[in-house]
Amino acid sequence: MFDVKKAPPRGRPFAVWRIVVWMVMLLAAVGFVINGYAAVVIGQAVLAMSDPVAAEMNPRIALAWSVGYALAAFATMAVALAALRWREGARKAMRVIALVLAAWAAWTAWMAFGQWQQLGVVLGQAGLPPDLLMAGTKHRNILFIGVLMKAVSVPVLAWLSWVLGTLGVRQQFSAPAL
């Protein structure tokens, strides 16, 4: 009497890599906003400085860094969004971006670990004022948390780059986009 209609089979199964790509996209968005704002602030500071002060400090390097970082973060957001929309070219680009981000996280974690060690030596000296000791300890704890987060992100980003090249994921991208 009543025909039961079945839903069409799903073309793409649940994928953990999509969650990681979302995280990369969201973190890139945070970096874009922070560095975009920093570029505006530094740009206003450059315009307000006199020539001798600007020659001594050279804030244009910081401005170039902030603008470059904001552009790289924007490109990362665009590629991640395209990968989430099942674009084949974005899958290949996201593999490269994940490897670059893993290398960047490893290098910056190594640098931050060195700073953490140096700050520990400085804070271990006798005769530091209590307020300086407290501020230095807080900064050292923040550095350590950053090192841990970057150390965790390196294998996750390397895994993302690997999984985006596996046959199963490549086949998912070859299915027609929704």
Tell me the domain boundaries of the chain.
16-174
Instruction: Give per-residue pLDDT as tens, 63-105.
Output: 899 999 999 999 999 999 999 998 999 999 999 999 999 999 9
* Helix or strand (DSSP H, E) at 25: helix 16-48
Instruction: Give per-residue pLDDT as tens, 82-92.
Output: 999 989 999 99
Identify whether the C-beta of residue 172 lies closer than 8 Å to the C-beta of residue 141. no
Positive or negative CA dihedral for 146, 152, 156, 159? positive
Which of 28, 23, 16, 14 minimizes the C-alpha distance to 164? Answer: 16
CA Rg value for the chain: 23
Identify whether the C-beta of residue 156 lies closer than 8 Å to the C-beta of residue 177. no
Quote the CA–CA distance of 105 and 156 in Å, as a whole number.
11
